[in-house]
Amino acid sequence: MPKKFPPEFKRDVVTVARRGDLSVAETAIDFGVAEETVRRWMRQADVDDGVKDGQTTSERAEIVQLRRDKRRLEMENEILRRAAAYFAASSLPK
């Protein structure tokens, strides 16, 4: 599983990489991350800043949360459906 970095760290790395004093590869080495990771963070920062079109970080987080909620609600609905069927079956006259 990929290592999680705090947003502040990502923002600092992108800021240094955008300044242009160091190449992306040198920036990656200085911060101890992979070069492609820095490039990906820069692409996402461009989207977040509105420079490029795409799904922002906050939109992505919202979608993840909505999917979790949907999955939880579906499970709750299934439990309630089974419980209703169980109680309906047990209340039938014999």
Spell out the long-range contacts of 84-90 with Cβ–Cβ below 8 A and sequence spacing 24 or more: none
Do 38 and 24 contact (CB within 8 A), yes or no?
yes
| Model confidence pLDDT, tens digit, residues 15-64 | 999 998 999 999 999 999 999 999 999 999 999 999 999 999 999 999 99
Q: How confident is the model at residue 3 (pLDDT cuts 50, 70, 90)?
A: confident
Q: Give pTM, 2 decimals.
A: 0.72
Q: Which two tokens stand for residue 94?
A: 């014999």
46 near 36, Cβ under 8 Å? Answer: no
